[in-house]
Amino acid sequence: MTHTTLKVRWMVTATVAACVLAACGQQKGPGAAGKPGAPGAGAQQMTVSVVTVKLQDVPLVTELQGRTKPHLVAEVRPQVTGIVQKRLFEEGAQVKAGQVLYQIDPSSYQATYDSAQAKLAKAKAQLTSAKSTAKRYENLGEIAAVSQQQREDAQSALLLAQAEQKAAEAAVRSARIDLDYTRVKSPISGRAGRSSVTQGALVTGNQAGVLVTVQQLDPIYVDVTQSSAQMLRLRQDFVSGKLGKVEETAVPVTILLEDGSEYAEQGRLEFAEVSVDENTGSVTMRVVVPNPQYELLPGMFVRARLEQGVRHNAALVPHLGVMRNQQGQAMVTLVNAQNKVEQRVVETEQSIGDYWVVTSGLNEGDRVIVEGLQWVRPGADVQATEFGDAPQPSMDGMSGMAGMSEMADMPTMAPVADEAAGEAATSAPEPASSEAKE
């Protein structure tokens, strides 16, 4: 390696190292040049994005957990004893009210019904005979052809025949009912579940076991629970005027499914329980939800989002503008009238979409910083632009961003300098020995 080449290489290495050291000395961190009082900052102020607080009435939306329950439930049981001859429905299919589900062997009940019919016919014949006898004795009694005792006996026989006919008619109706019960029908329209018996099974009247359960699923109920403490707090807010009541007579309810998606149909709040559950300390509220496609099935875990009131004089602040301090309190960073940064503790009620509902700590017209929080500190002078209208950061306009650009380039430059310095260190003795020889 020649002396001239080594000399040029030393010069390049020194130049690169000087540039790196100069860059590190000028920028010690992102946004350092933009801080007030920093060397070289000049008159340039850091620009932050803010939202202007507007106090308004915000609906108090509560999200409660619940389970779906069928609108109607019918547990079908046999009312007579016999052998099941047929099952006349498909499991899981839709059935109608009055549709025959099972056929029980009707032979013995048909015979009982026929016997009752025969007894009724006999009673009718006896009644006809008793009427004729009573009428005849009545006519004969007028001419004293029969005694008074005979006339009274004929009237008694007529009354007995009438009673026997009524008893026979009741027996026919009872036999008819039992015969009809051999055809087990669905009392409601709905979805039939799994059958617990098959053809040939023996069933008994009023047995404990259910043959099949029919459930009406359109509409469907959603039972949600809310703690009694929360309901008491809501009631106190209503009384104090902090919370206004919802104007709608039927409170709309949005259902969230287990996967977090929103159910297409909107329900309505039907009623709330009048007592508190002693075990859980909560109150159950029932929501009626249309279910035309049978997407909601009994027993599903869902969440219900409903409006329980209107919060007066509340502010909506984006999530970006609210932080938590070490005590866990909600805190916002503001730009005051002197364009200086200050922090303030606030109270948040709930989250709606991308916004926090702030109930205290903010006033009308306050400017909350939502972008640029990482570059400012309390007491710093800043320039505020409305959120969404702020210009895009550029290398020319903000020295802090320029510092970030240089720092980003440093990792790619440092290895080159180290490599050059290493090569220079290993090859440095060579020119020195050559000059000594010369």
User: Higher pLDDT residue, 415 or 348?
Assistant: 348
Task: For residues 376-389, give the mean pLDDT.
Answer: 84
% of the chain with per-residue pLDDT over 70: 75
pLDDT tens digits for 156-167?
A: 999 999 999 999
Per-residue confidence (pLDDT) for residue 282, from 0 to 100? 86
Task: For residues 118-138, give the mean pLDDT.
Answer: 90
Per-residue confidence (pLDDT) for residue 32, from 0 to 100? 38
Query: Residue written as tokens 């972008």?
Result: 371
Task: For residues 305-332, give the mean pLDDT.
Answer: 87
Task: For residues 226-250, give the mean pLDDT.
Answer: 67
Average pLDDT for the chain? 78
Per-residue confidence (pLDDT) for residue 280, from 0 to 100? 83
Q: Is 405's pLDDT higher than 60?
A: no
Q: Is 23's pLDDT higher than 60?
A: no
User: Higher pLDDT residue, 389 or 390?
Assistant: 389
Residues 137 and 151 sit within 8 Å (Cβ to Cβ): yes
Burial 418-435 (b: 16+ CB within 10 A, else e): eebeeebeeeeeebeeee
pLDDT tens digits for 265-283?
A: 988 888 777 788 878 888 8
Q: How many residues does the chain have?
A: 438
User: Higher pLDDT residue, 90 or 373?
Assistant: 90
% of the chain with per-residue pLDDT over 90: 39
Q: Is 70's pLDDT higher than 90?
A: yes
Per-residue confidence (pLDDT) for residue 192, from 0 to 100? 94
Task: For residues 194-218, give the mean pLDDT.
Answer: 93
Query: How far apart, in whole angstroms, are the C-alpha atoms of residue 32 and residue 28?
Result: 7
pLDDT tens digits for 71-97?
A: 999 999 999 999 999 999 999 999 999
User: Which pairing describes strands 330-335 and 322-324: parallel, antiparallel, or unpaired?
Assistant: antiparallel
Question: Whose CA is closest to 318, among 303, 329, 333?
Answer: 333
Contacts of 315 (CB under 8 A, 6+ apart): 53, 54, 55, 56, 357, 358, 362
User: Higher pLDDT residue, 112 or 425?
Assistant: 112
Query: How far apart, in whole angstroms, are the C-alpha atoms of residue 36 and residue 383?
Result: 12
Per-residue confidence (pLDDT) for residue 393, from 0 to 100? 35
Q: Is 438's pLDDT higher than 50?
A: no
Q: Is 203's pLDDT higher than 90?
A: yes
Per-residue confidence (pLDDT) for residue 147, from 0 to 100? 83
Contacts of 339 (CB under 8 A, 6+ apart): 45, 381, 382, 383, 384
Name the region of 303 (left: φ>0; alpha: ψ -120 to 50; beta: rest): beta
Per-residue confidence (pLDDT) for residue 248, from 0 to 100? 52
- 244's tokens: 């206004």
Q: Is 419's pLDDT higher than 70?
A: no
Query: How far apart, in whole angstroms, are the C-alpha atoms of residue 306 and residue 62?
Result: 5
Q: Helices 399-427 and 3-26: crossing angle, nearest 10°?
A: 150
pLDDT tens digits for 298-309?
A: 999 999 988 777
User: Which pairing describes strands 382-386 and 46-52: parallel, antiparallel, or unpaired?
Assistant: parallel
Per-residue confidence (pLDDT) for residue 312, from 0 to 100? 82
Query: How far apart, in whole angstroms, are the C-alpha atoms of residue 110 and residue 176?
Result: 8
Contacts of 122 (CB under 8 A, 6+ apart): 168
Contacts of 5 (CB under 8 A, 6+ apart): none
Q: Is 29's pLDDT higher than 80?
A: no
pLDDT tens digits for 138-155?
A: 888 777 777 888 888 888
Question: Whose CA is closest to 381, among 55, 42, 98?
Answer: 42
Q: Residue 389: exposed, middle, or buried by beta-carbon count in 10 A (0-12, 13-18, 19+)? A: exposed
Q: Where would I find the H helices in 88-200?
A: 107-142, 148-181
